[in-house]
Structure 1
């Protein structure tokens, strides 16, 4: 085999390797772009949720609590270590006190009642009033309709449209309600499978 033939064979090998590496590189770029786009969309959603929650907190007059510092977190972590070490050794079953109080049974949900009676203020939070009201209706309701109904049912209480709208969005973020659109209107209905009440942290009631 001549030197020229060998050189041509080597060149072909390099060309194939380069083409293969370029294809793999392009595939990786596409994957990174897709992941970057997904992360950007997730970040936008988180920022949107953060703005909604900030508006809710401002509307309800809830004071912002400072986040714990890194030093405080480390101190709390170190304080938890001795209690873990003082646990019973492996292989020994911890005795259960016979006098221990029984676990509380989960609170039973009240059956829906008439819309007007259910929406009346009985010391409930806005979240509880709204979800109770929507539980009495199968058709979707707009924020304006919910505000009007609660205003009618609670004439002695100041109902703010911004608070109702923010509370509706909060309930959607917690899975308690579902949001849909009809044209330009945003409508809300009770979630088909609402989360347990204990899993949600409803905003404090505004007077």
Structure 2
């Protein structure tokens, strides 16, 4: 009794699996048929456009560069068209675009010749701007991160942001030192592992790490001059 029940359960499982595989197979067939029909329509439209372009070549007296399809190839296409619904003919818009293809090609060639000097001019302008920016960067001097870490060089005592700001104002009178910029730079040093942050009551102090790494070049976080 139990063996019959087990056998019936296995049979039902196989039947469900086969039904699912069959449904997936039919779905895949429908998808492939739809794709085949789409490709056939696209091929038919390209062939129609090719005929129009060949006529234009003949009218312009240009030697043909594309050979016409051979008889076996035409027979194969006819057989494929018989297997699927007939493709749509080329739309009037497609025919009109085909007739203007030669004119657009000539316009693009003329536009490319005109654009070439403009590209050269833009390239020279970009290079000049890059040189100017590099010169300005050299004139600015060390970054804020380099200046801030230099304040802690050879020291182990913690210092507040205000103390660092005052020290930089004294040692670098040519730079416009702002407290907000110095505070942000100190936090940047903490994030990079160059400084450590400590808190005493409501005050925040900074001190160099045990083995600080060399400060990397960074983009200033505020006005430099």
Please indicate, yes or no, whether the TM-score normalized by the shorter chain is above 0.5: no
Larger Rg: 2
Q: Which has the higher contact order (CA 8 A, sep 6+)?
A: 1
TM tier, smaller = 0.3 to 0.5
The structure where helix makes up a greater share of residues is 2
- Taking structure 2 as the reference length, the TM-score comes to 0.35
